[in-house]
Amino acid sequence: MSTKQVLIFVEQEDGCARPVAFELLGAGRMLANKLGAELAAFVACDSVGELPETLVAHGADRVYVAEHPELATYRTLPYRRVLIDLIAAMDTPPHIVLFGSTTTGRDLAPRIAAYFETGLTADCTELDIGPYEHTNAQDPSKVGLYPDCLYAIRPSFGESLKARILGPWKNPQMATVRSGVMVPLAPDATRTGVVQSVPVHLESADLQLVVAETLRSLGEQVELQGAEVIVSGGYGLGNPEGFALMYQLAACFENSAVGSSRKAVDAGWIAHAHQVGQTGKTVRPKLYIACGISGAIQHRVGMDKSATIVAINKDSNAPIFKFAHHGIVGDLHQVIPELIRQLKLQKTSTPDTSHVATHSL
Partner 1 sequence: MNIFVLIKQVPDQGAKAGINPDGTIDRARAKRMLNPFDRYALEAALFVRRLYGGTVTAISMGPPPAVEVLYEAIAHGVDQAILLSDRRLAASDTLATAYALYCTVRYAGAFDLVFCGLQTTDGDTAQVGPQLAERLQVPQITYCEKFEIAQGAIVARRVIEGGAQTVRCPLPAVVTVANSAPRLAYKTLRGARRVQQLQRDEAERSRVIRTVNLDDIGADPVRCGLKGSPTIVAATEKVGEIGGNCTLYQGKPLQQLVDDLLAAQVIAPELVKQ
* Alpha-carbon distance values, 4 to 55, 72, 345, 351 (Å): 19, 30, 59, 56
163 or 194: whose CB is closer to partner 1?
Answer: 163
- Give the residue among 73, 80, 76 at the shortest CA–CA distance from 42: 80
The reply to whether 197 sits in an annotated binding site is no
299 annotated as belonging to a binding site for a ligand? yes
CB-wise, 3 or 76, nearer to partner 1? 76
Q: Is 277 annotated as a binding residue?
A: yes
**Nearest distance from residue 132's CB to partner 1, in Å?**
7
Q: In what order do the strands lie in the sheet with 62-67?
A: 120-124, 173-177, 96-100, 5-9, 38-45, 62-67, 194-197
Distance in Å from the first CA to the final CA of the chain = 65
Would the annotation count 279 as a binding residue? yes
| CA–CA separation, 255 and 81 (whole Å) | 41
Provide the minimum distance between the beta carbon of 38 and partner 1 in the complex, in angstroms, as a whole number. 24
CB of 61 to partner 1, least distance (A): 27
In terms of CB distance, is 189 or 215 closer to partner 1? Answer: 215
Is 173 marked within a binding site? no
* Residue 49 backbone class (left: φ over 0; alpha: ψ -120 to 50; beta: rest): left
Q: Is 297 labeled as ligand-binding?
A: yes
Task: State the minimum distance, in angstroms, from the CB of residue 196 to partner 1.
Answer: 26
Residue placing its CB nearer to partner 1 in the complex, 188 or 338 = 338
232 is in an annotated binding site: no
Q: Which CB atom, from 61 or from 275, has the smaller least distance to partner 1?
A: 275
The amino acid at 183 = V
For residues 310 and 326, give the distance between their C-alpha atoms in angstroms, rounded to a whole number: 5
Neighbours of 154 (CB within 10 A): 22
Q: How far is the CB of 270 from partner 1 (least distance, A)?
A: 14
Spatial contact of 176 and 107, defined as CB atoms under 8 Å apart: no
Residue ranges of the annotated binding site for FAD are 261-262, 275-279, 292-299, 313
